Structure 1
Amino acid sequence: MAHARLAIADPPAPAPATRVSAEGLRIALFSGNYNCVRDGANRALNRLVAHLLDRGAAVRVYSPTSANPAFPPAGDLISVPSIGIPGRSEYRLATGLPARLRADLDAFAPTHVHLSCPDILGGRAQAYARARGIPAVASLHTRFETYPAYYGLPFLAPPIRARLRYFYSRCDRVMAPNPAMAATLAAFGVAPDRVRLWGRGVDHRLFSPTLRSSERRRAQGYAEDEPVLLFFGRLVHEKGLETFLATVEELRSRGHGVRPLVVGEGPARSWLADRLPDAVYTGHLDGEALGRAVASADILINPSVTEAFGNVNLEAMASGLAIVSADVGSAQALIEHGRTGLLVAPADPMAYADATEALMADPSRRLRLGRAAAEASRAYHWPDILDAVVHVYRGAAGE
């Protein structure tokens, strides 16, 4: 299976021993939901802010806030006016950038405005930066144009794509998580010389094959030689829950008594639990408990096509799991088909079931894939990846 890759010119990353300074940078970061929800985008942004502060930058974060945040925020968080999103109350939508916040921005005197979401707040912040001649740097985290199909609203996809095209084409730099998303930006009309790559890292202390626990497996009713199929991520329909369910049902129709492990939480949990009541549901886990749960599974099934990067795939790779993932750009950037995982037709439960069944029947192949995946994950080192963002800021300012 061949996968095309887009080559993008980017400044070389610093050597691992180099400590990049961010002194003199004053970053105003605008987020859609900085710590309201524990998802990959928010975790990456919080990690970035902590890193920038450690490297000597000043950072001020503007975002909707929640009465019950998912985790403590990194840095100074300024609450912006917002409303709850109907049907998805865990997310909030900023309603604008009022005069008091513009005054706060003026007092902070940012050298850069970082836009992480193309929402109303992001648009107002972009206009603020352009009016004052401040470099506007955007980071792309989510494929918003794919969401309407999961909620019966396909007519919204064209206006969303138009919004993304308008928003990203007006930024001085846009950071894509991988070459596939850089190609998407090119399709949106963003000039290639404005695109840079900002990938993601993985914490190998928390995601490691050494955290595999036979005791945990037994406590959940799994035999040591029983293949444990994992769904890992937020339980929302846009993560491919329907495809995951159909894959499990297909495997059962073939005589495999699989009992999946579902790690994560979200508004679609009851939907999935009603249809898959005998799965093991851990709810939200964090820290070593999360790493141990992931490492104690055997095969990750990841049918999501909405990922911009694919943190779940990388964390499962670092944990030594065999992976069956949707064959989309985010997965292609991480997984070498047949060596560090298997890539299958994105919306075809039969294809997921075929690949999973083959791995269930061949434990030695499953182990080879997991070992190769864990080794490949070693290249994703957070400090170097976050230092690359500092270089993007410097470049946007002409330094």
Structure 2
Amino acid sequence: MAASGRLDGLRIALFSGNYNYVRDGANQALNRLVGYLLRQGAQVRVYSPKVETPAFEPTGTLIGIPALAVPGRGEYRVPIALSPRVRRDLAAFDPHVVHVSSPDVAAHRVVTWARRRRLPVLASVHTRFETYFRYYNMAWLEPVIEAMLRRFYRRCDALVAPSESMAQVLREQRMNYDIGIWSRGVDREIFTPERRSLEWRRSLGLADDDVVIGIFSRLVMEKGLDVFSDAIDELKSKGAKFRVLVIGEGPAREWLETRLPDAVFAGFLSGADLGKGVASMDVLFFPSVTETFGNVTLEAMACGLPVVASAATGSQSLVDDHVSGRLITPGAVHQFAEALRAYVENPDLRAQHGAAGERRAQEFSWDRINQAVADTYVRLVRQKRTRR
């Protein structure tokens, strides 16, 4: 392994529950990481479920692993085993370090495989799995899932979390004692205020002087869509004049269309089109509590939007309350509505807080962020060799 940030000769086995078959912020971050590692001279082999028509082409070499569709959410796959074929491939690759990015069955198996060979294991935490059950009337399962996660993460040598607020949650949950930060970056060529387009807004029936409250996300209930729609209803009842713009697709789209019949649904957008859509909003409203970082929040800030978000992991590390947006108690519909009304009725406040958010977004460079993960790999490998 070379110095000065180079990783020549380092072999990394990365296990993911979703590397490229459904597009989301976590797997796009993993693909960016692999691209960076390859440019630095490392060898990377990715193990993840495959589908016939993935959302995008994978970065690097992708090896399919056995998986089953998630009941009720068939677009997702759960890795269920390390097959003999995968074990042979893994042994032939002979990694120096194993990186697991989801606490599934295959990840448990590969952690055992690595520990038997005295290889270091790094786990990256991308979502708060234990909170998902709140949205499916199974909140009683949360402590059980948390205990299962603790068992998994304590078998790893170190964790990396996307934000300091999420790292603190993991410390409080006693998940591990070696927890670092693998933040997220933002593509400033795509997400910038310059992409704002009144012509694009007009094509959707949005007037130039409409104040547009937007959300862009995969449309699933765990993103807080119930809180989003309730707060919008309360804001309407106060007589505020605004429009709602929804960007994204997902199984909850029909529910949200029924719930907010006056909203404009732009569907799935990516790349420059997504940047244009986000920059053409006036306020981002994102009440999710399941985020560990909040790519959506950072991308909106880079476009110069004030953000109204839940005071939860992820957003707390990005939004400065009353400076670049508002952080509201999760689920507090009335407070969300009041925060939104202030932005709808005060264009100077929108501009001031949006500009502050854009300045904050300038601090997030992908290469610097991904080098922190590379440095962790190197540290863990050296520590393991020293112990031997």
Query: Normalising by the residue count of structure 1, what TM-score does the alignment of the two structures yield?
Result: 0.93
Q: Label 1:19 to 1:352 Cα distance change in 2 as closer, same or farther (>3 A).
A: farther
Q: Distance in 2 between matches of 1:21 and 1:229?
A: 44
Q: Which position in structure 1 is the counterpart of 2:163?
A: 178
1:364-392 per-position Cα deviation (integer Å, ceiling 9, x unaligned): 01101001100110000101101111100
Q: Which position in structure 1 is the counterpart of 2:136?
A: 151
How far off is 1:118 after superposition?
A: 0.6
Unaligned runs of 5+ in 1: 1-17
1:103 aligns with 2:71: no
Residue aligned with 1:397, SS: helix
How far off is 1:256 after superposition?
A: 2.6
How far off is 1:156 after superposition?
A: 2.0
* Structure 1 counterpart of 2:291, from 307, 314, 320: 307
Q: Which position in structure 2 is the counterpart of 1:7?
A: none
How far off is 1:24 after superposition?
A: 1.6
Letter in 2 for 1:353: A
Letter in 1 for 2:374: V
Q: Which position in structure 2 is the counterpart of 1:5?
A: none
* Structure 2 counterpart of 1:216, from 185, 194, 200: 200
Residue aligned with 2:299, SS: helix
Letter in 1 for 2:68: I
Question: Which is further off, 323-332 or 364-373?
Answer: 323-332
Q: Which position in structure 1 is the counterpart of 2:307?
A: 323
Letter in 2 for 1:53: L
Q: Distance in 1 between matches of 2:376 and 2:349?
A: 41
How far off is 1:268 after superposition?
A: 0.5
Contact 1:150 1:238 in 2 (8 A): yes
Letter in 1 for 2:298: L
Residue aligned with 1:260, SS: strand
1:37 aligns with 2:22: yes
Q: Distance in 1 between matches of 2:284 and 2:117?
A: 47
The alignment's C-alpha RMSD in Å is: 1.3
1:128-183 per-position Cα deviation (integer Å, ceiling 9, x unaligned): 11011111001000000100010111232122101110111111111011122112
* Structure 2 counterpart of 1:343, from 303, 308, 327: 327
Contact 1:248 1:258 in 2 (8 A): no
For these two proteins, the number of residue pairs brought into alignment is 381
Q: Distance in 2 between matches of 1:159 and 1:137?
A: 23
Residue aligned with 1:230, SS: strand
Residue aligned with 1:247, SS: helix
* Structure 1 counterpart of 2:124, from 133, 139, 150: 139
Contact 1:164 1:188 in 2 (8 A): no
1:75 aligns with 2:78: no
1:219-270 per-position Cα deviation (integer Å, ceiling 9, x unaligned): 2222222110001111000000000000111111112343310011111101
Q: Which position in structure 2 is the counterpart of 1:57?
A: 42
Q: Which position in structure 1 is the counterpart of 2:51?
A: 66
Letter in 1 for 2:207: A
Q: Which position in structure 1 is the counterpart of 2:278?
A: 294
1:110-125, aligned counterparts within 5 Å? Answer: 110-125=95-110
Residue aligned with 2:348, SS: helix
Query: Structure 1 stretches (4+) deviating beyond 3 angstroms?
Result: none
Q: Distance in 2 between matches of 1:30 and 1:348?
A: 37
How far off is 1:119 after superposition?
A: 0.8
Residue aligned with 1:277, SS: coil
1:235 aligns with 2:219: yes
Letter in 2 for 1:335: V
